[in-house]
Amino acid sequence: MVHVGRQPIYDRDGAVVAHELLFRAGATASTASRRDAHATARVLVAAFTEFGLDEVAGGRVCFINLTRDFLTGQLPLPFDCSQAVLEVLETTDVDEDVLAGVTALAEQGYTIALDDFVFGTSHERLLDIATYVKIDMLDADEATVRATVLNCRLHAHLQLIAERLETPEALDFAMSLGFEFFQGHVLGRPHVSSTVALAPSRLTRLRIMAALSVDDVDIDGLVDLVGQDAALSLRLLRATNAASFGLNRTVSSIRDAVVALGLTRLRQWVTLMLVADITEADPEQLSQLLIRARCCQLLAEAAALPGEPAYIGGLLSAVADLFGEPTDRVLNGVPLDQTLTDALLAGTGPLGEVLATVRAYTAPGAAPAAASVTEDPAALASLYLTAVRWANSTLSDLSAELRHPEPDPAPQRH
């Protein structure tokens, strides 16, 4: 399971205008257990590729805490500047590297917020760059808060957020000082959202990173590598739904997703997922996912249908069955071609028959397919065994590479 905390931010009329996304280790956690790069990466990956940003934020702006690694560009931000406000944590020392990094992010169009701001710290260097300043109101000295507000008002572009408002009195005080926005338990506590997530294969991610690192990227080989990682495939399909990519078409294959994202964005997502993920894929689960997807592909091709949409359909169908999730929830945030969506949700068309046939054959307890694209049980069994051999070979190759990684090539002499 993955978990993201979400705390609303209100305007002076009491309307929710934004949400702050927070790391949570569990569904019942009330506070963050860590505020490092890993925590930020998990929030980003979960919000954009597990839940889907629309589900988490409801179309509102998201505030996301960033650590030094993200602010200085050591870790990527694989989303558009319109999708989030970047919070500079109060624990971050704003040295020359951070100042340069935040300046560059602002020049790219990202909106900057200063968290828990107080005067007399290095964060004053960012006041001309920031749009929002958050001031901690919990047990705060009123004279200090007044002075901070007055000094911030010398920068006319700044908008102030009173945070950690715990009592009605604190809220009234913040209102009297003219704060534009308000956040705290007196208004709304963080809500933790949870969803299932596939465990990733780190080795596949590393191989993809290697494939992306060369000047002349082999798109066919890259698509094959992505297709071997069920979790990554699903996440990248969802990532193509982000408004930042300007994607005005649907996707029906992994190739479509790779092309839609572009190599730079794909490289950023894979890097971020490597940081975010902390568990290895369960080999048995991964095997069953790959077998279902490959079997759908082979059966579709045998029936003169496109193979890649069938592969994606088999993958998504298997994910839904694996976690006992409704298929429509699994499809949330995945901009699929309508034919593939109808095949998955309603079982319609030749592709729907392919998915239903393979599901009935591979999923224990699944209802038999009402119609089948093949009336030859032996032919289906042969396709299934071919898919099993392919999945076993794929996983075996990955395991062998993990045990005996290829040595780095000898350096070239010039």
For each of the chain's 414 residues, which pLDDT tens digit applies?
A: 445 677 889 999 999 898 887 754 433 333 333 444 555 556 665 555 555 555 566 668 889 888 888 898 887 776 778 778 999 989 899 999 999 999 999 999 999 999 999 988 999 999 999 999 999 999 889 999 999 999 999 999 999 999 999 999 999 999 999 999 999 989 876 554 444 455 555 556 656 766 775 678 888 888 888 887 777 787 777 777 653 455 556 778 888 888 888 887 787 677 666 555 544 446 677 778 788 988 999 999 999 998 888 988 888 888 788 777 788 877 776 667 889 889 999 999 999 999 999 998 887 655 555 556 666 778 888 898 888 888 877 666 555 544 444 444 443 433
Return the beta strands (E) in 12-92 as ranges: 16-23, 61-66, 84-88
Measured from the Cβ of residue 261, the count of other Cβ atoms closer than 10 Å reads 22
* Beta bridge mates, 210: none
Return the beta strands (E) in 165-274 as ranges: 181-182, 191-195
Report the alpha-carbon distance of residue 237 to residue 344 in Å, rounded.
15
Sign of the CA dihedral with 336 first, then 341, 344, and 350 last: negative
- What CA–CA distances, in Å, run from 316 to 57, 208, 330? 24, 21, 7
Quick check: do 2-195 and 202-403 share a fold?
A: no
pTM reported for the whole predicted model: 0.52
Burial grade of 233 (CB within 10 A; 0-12, 13-18, 19 or more) = buried
So what's the pLDDT on residue 190? 57
So what's the pLDDT on residue 323? 73
Report the alpha-carbon distance of residue 282 to residue 204 in Å, rounded.
13
CATH of 202-403, one of 1.10.443.10, 3.40.50.410, 1.10.3210.10, 3.40.50.880: 1.10.3210.10
H-helix segments, 303-364: 307-323, 327-330, 338-346, 349-362
| Per-residue tokens: 61 | 């702006």
Domain ranges of the chain: 2-195, 202-403
So what's the pLDDT on residue 268? 67
So what's the pLDDT on residue 33? 37
Report the alpha-carbon distance of residue 65 to residue 86 in Å, rounded.
6
CATH of 2-195, one of 3.20.20.450, 3.40.50.300, 3.40.50.2000, 3.40.1410.10: 3.20.20.450
So what's the pLDDT on residue 111? 96
Q: Which candidate, 245, 324, 232, places its Cα nearest to that of 272?
A: 232
